[in-house]
Chain A
Amino acid sequence: MNPLSIIVVEQDRDRALRIVDGIMASGDHAVTVISEPTGLARRTAELQPDIVLIDVADPSRDVLEELALASGPLERPVAMFVDRSDEQLTRAAIEAGVSAYVVNGLQPERIKPILDAAIARFHMVQKMRAELAATKAALEDRKIIDRAKAILMKARGIDEEAAYALLRKTAMDQNRRMADIAQQLVMAAGLLT
């Protein structure tokens, strides 16, 4: 089978690499990453891809819509969204956050493994992003609570444990997150000094 020419539009380099790895694992394809929105139309026309993969929420998608409409039914690249024949695959792709512009006439059995790989990778990247965000937030909370504790220890002459207990009690009494109470305390202390 001839290798397929696939374009991945993705600005985040790490993310792009993961997606490319996933696609390559599904077969020997020629994958090109485009990371800049400028010139997308020109480069896509030059490369004549069989499939373009792009984040559902990427603003550049509308440029690909134009390409999809501009070319006649038997020309290339007649990118026409995800294959109309497989609605389930379309749904899975869009839910995973990937939209695929597929050249009309490409055999469904050739599209499916690539899309499956792309869907899995997009899923994974999304999960990792969510985890990273949660870890970052937890670290931020940690830092602000430490600062609030230090302020309380100094101002009231109490030890660390007592400062922590005081913060926790206040948060519980007010039905708020400890990090929020700490944030307010740090801000108020900043205003008073």
Chain B
Amino acid sequence: MSLTPLRLGYVPLTDAAPLIVAAELGFAAEEGLSLDLIRLQSWAQSRDSLGMGGIDAAHMLVPLPIAQGLGLGPAYPRFDLVMVLSVGGQAICVSAALAGAMRDHGHGFGFGDPVAARQALAAVVPGALRVGVPFPFSTQAELVRRWLAGSDLDRRLSIRTVPPPLMADALATGEVDAFCVGEPWASYAVERGLGALVLAGRSIWASPPEKGLVLTRDFAEGRPEETGRLMRAVWRACRWLDVAENRATAAEILSRPDYLNLPPELSERGLMDRLHLSAQGEVRQYPGFIRFHQGAANFPWRSLAALFARRIARLHGLDEGAAMGAGMACFRTDLYRQHLRAAGADLPGASARVEGAMAHPTAVASEKGEIILGSDAFFDGETFEPPFVGR
């Protein structure tokens, strides 16, 4: 049987695992696909490659297709997010100097308390706080803004864009005081003795969607057969990745020179829920640090799109209602239902929900009975109700 070739772009990060595993472990071949994985250097390059047809699908920051849909990028065909690839996996890292000062101030580095970490940081940062994030439209930017909102640091916050592999260098050269990035790039800075981890992304928001599988709308609608096969292959890879005993194997595969090109020991930390906070080797267990599948992680809730769209609209002076509508339209719950039902995905009864309402894992109605959604609370207790959407 000859395989249909598809070109997939990814940026070297732990959360590119679903695409890499789909290609390496035969999930793609099982669906009659051969995946050509193309390593990209920046999110702008990922966006341009997809927009220009250099790749068929991309591993992309969840808010990026929304921003494109709002006209905040080059004029390319519409992008659609057909499934979420990962939830969590981000960490906040402060410079070694700030970490030392926080320690002297009595901060215990619990890794799970945003308010304590924020207070300790505010006490030791003399003036402006420059925080690096990977892209203006990223879950990391949302996490940092939310974490510091309403605090003393809010007015002093300056968010800077730094590509993930260069985060550690930006800390080393003093361009930023702290950063929020996906693994393994936070652990990479820790390993080099440049900084210490203070928080997991999930401590700020229990279910922060991080990367999605993004296609042009022309491809997703014009080539439904390939779209479905790709989604099923990647969905099965995600399911495989959330079996605990597979995580060490995943770390080995990801770390190869072709992919992340780093020691497996680094990518293993996030995947095995064992983070080293500092070069001195303080280890914290963080169960479920990154999820690829459990808790209906792959479902592209339209309410998530609305939440990011509202934030982007506020920052760029756009109409909030229109932005939320445009954002929700590019989260393709319809394609998710259409293509993944056959693979055995249990499908929630609704396509949107109140974000931040579940402090604990909660069972909700689904086609097969009920599915357990992971908790999705924001540390500040906010809830977000999206505009009404039908199924």
Interface residues of A (CB under 8 A from B): 37-39, 41, 56-66, 69, 81-82, 84, 87, 90-91, 94-95, 99
Cα separation A63 to B134 with both chains bound (whole Å): 9
Task: Find residues 162-215 in chain B having any chain A CB closer than 8 Å to their own CB.
Answer: 162-163, 165-166, 169-170, 173, 175
A38 adjacent to B169 (CB under 8 Å) = yes
A58 adjacent to B41 (CB under 8 Å) = yes
Cα separation A94 to B40 with both chains bound (whole Å): 14
Task: State whether the Cβ of B97 lies closer than 8 Å to any Cβ in chain A.
Answer: no
B42 adjacent to A91 (CB under 8 Å) = no
A59 adjacent to B42 (CB under 8 Å) = yes
Q: Which residues of B have CB within 8 Å of A69?
A: 72, 136, 316
A84 adjacent to B72 (CB under 8 Å) = no
What are 13 A-B contacts with C-beta separation under 8 Å?
A37-B166, A38-B169, A39-B175, A59-B41, A59-B163, A60-B166, A62-B43, A63-B161, A65-B135, A66-B135, A66-B160, A84-B75, A91-B52
Of A39, A61, A81, A90, the contact of B73 (CB 8 Å cutoff)? A81
Cα separation A95 to B316 with both chains bound (whole Å): 30
Interface size, B (range): 20 to 34
Q: Which residue of A lies closest to B47 (CB)?
A: A65
Nearest 6 interchain pairs by C-beta: A66-B161, A59-B163, A61-B44, A59-B41, A81-B74, A61-B42
Q: Which residues of A have CB within 8 Å of B41?
A: 57-59, 61
Inter-chain contact total with CB atoms closer than 8 Å: 67
B44 adjacent to A84 (CB under 8 Å) = no
A56 adjacent to B48 (CB under 8 Å) = yes
B48 adjacent to A59 (CB under 8 Å) = no
A60 adjacent to B163 (CB under 8 Å) = yes
Closest-CB distance, B318 to chain A (whole angstroms): 12
Q: Which residues of A have CB within 8 Å of B316?
A: 69
Closest-CB distance, A130 to chain B (whole angstroms): 18
Cα separation A56 to B42 with both chains bound (whole Å): 9
Q: Which residues of B have CB within 8 Å of A87?
A: 75
In the complex with contacts A38-B170, A91-B52, A99-B44 CB distance below 8 A:
yes
